[in-house]
């Protein structure tokens, strides 16, 4: 059994996968504000739900820069230099604790869910913040895995801002005082598409991905903004830069959990017997 943890900016999801890849019951709780509270609550949850069972690995997704199991910086949580792997070592016996960026994991899952995995996938989650994951040949790109596309500095409304400061779900709520599910105005969705497009216009000429996949809590409403988003890209992208196909995530809000599963399978397969 694999135990998976999706630590989000506002909520944390815990689940498991059986040996044949069946997703177990989902446990959800608000993400604690401090690392000490997080360690306490997640440890209690893991022991209560999976203590005493045979666990092959624990995979923890964190929304931030991850290096050697340490959350170096989490922009939307304010956590820094948090040794995640160390904090949970031994929590479920000898099961190794694997830690990776949430957008990388979501991108891994979504790339693997396509009928044919493209050579270069750019995954973008638009949720509490904006996260990016780059998947090449079905694996998280190790050279670009620390990239934080949501922190790209862009011009918006006459000044420079980080992309996620004006395009994330949090920013959209702050602007319109509504969650995505409550936005029905086509004009508003066109404005949201414009916000999202700014990052794509900056990243696409550099990365030139084969496909862009959009997930996250705003990605759920893909059909509301994809047409104006494509229109903006066609109007503003340099003519010699191909516009990649843009698709909706298969599991917009559960992609990270599935990514944890695939990541663990790869890690365990790569581990010498």
For residue 27, how many other CB atoms are within 10 A of its CB?
Answer: 15
Number of helical (H) and strand (E) elements in the chain, helices listed first: 9, 15
Which distant-in-sequence residues (6+ apart) come within 8 Å of 12 by Cβ?
A: 5, 6, 28, 29, 30, 31, 38, 42
Q: What is the pLDDT of residues 177-186, one digit of tens each?
A: 999 999 999 9
Q: 3-state DSSP: the chain helix, strand, coil percent, rounded to 5?
A: 40, 25, 35
CA distances from 56 to 59, 80, 116 (A): 10, 28, 28
Q: Which of 155, 154, 124, 112 is nearest to 222 (CA)?
A: 124
Q: Are strands 130-136 and 139-140 parallel, antiparallel or unpaired?
A: antiparallel
Domains of the chain: 2-101+253-270 (3.30.420.40), 106-248 (3.30.420.40)
Supply the pLDDT for residue 122: 97
**Distance of alpha carbon 1 from alpha carbon 255, whole angstroms:** 18
Q: What is the pLDDT of residues 205-260, one digit of tens each?
A: 999 999 999 998 899 999 999 999 999 999 999 999 999 999 999 987 788 999 99
Scanning 56-213, the segments in alpha helix (DSSP H) are 84-88, 102-113, 163-167, 169-176, 186-207
pLDDT at 75 over 90: no
Q: What is the pLDDT of residues 49-61, one digit of tens each?
A: 998 889 999 999 9
Q: Kindly state the average pLDDT of the residues 163-188.
A: 94
């Amino acid at each position: 059994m694999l135990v998976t943890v999706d630590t989000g900016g506002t909520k944390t999801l815990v689940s498991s996968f059986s040996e044949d890849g069946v997703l177990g019951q989902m446990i959800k709780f608000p993400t604690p504000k401090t690392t000490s509270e997080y360690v306490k609550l997640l440890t209690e949850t893991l022991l209560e739900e999976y203590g005493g069972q045979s666990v092959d690995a624990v995979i923890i997704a964190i929304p931030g820069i991850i290096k050697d199991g340490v959350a170096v910086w989490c922009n939307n949580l304010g956590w820094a230099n948090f040794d995640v792997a160390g904090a949970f070592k031994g929590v479920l016996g000898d099961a190794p604790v694997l830690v990776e960026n949430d957008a990388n994991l979501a991108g891994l899952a979504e790339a693997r869910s396509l009928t044919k995995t493209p050579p270069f996938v750019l995954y973008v989650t638009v949720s509490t913040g904006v996260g990016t994951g780059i998947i090449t040949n079905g694996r998280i790109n190790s050279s670009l895995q620390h990239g934080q596309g949501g922190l790209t500095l862009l011009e918006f409304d006459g000044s420079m801002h980080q992309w996620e400061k004006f395009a994330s779900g949090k920013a959209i709520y702050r602007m319109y005082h509504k969650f995505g599910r409550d936005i029905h105005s086509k004009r508003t969705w066109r404005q949201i598409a414009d916000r999202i497009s700014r990052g794509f216009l900056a990243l696409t000429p550099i990365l030139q991905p084969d496909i862009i996949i959009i997930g996250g809590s705003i990605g759920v409403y893909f059909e509301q903004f994809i047409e104006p988003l494509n229109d903006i890209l066609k109007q503003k992208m340099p003519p010699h830069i191909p516009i990649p196909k843009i698709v909706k995530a298969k599991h917009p809000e559960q992609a990270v959990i599935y990514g944890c599963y695939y990541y663990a399978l790869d890690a365990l397969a790569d581990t010498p017997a």
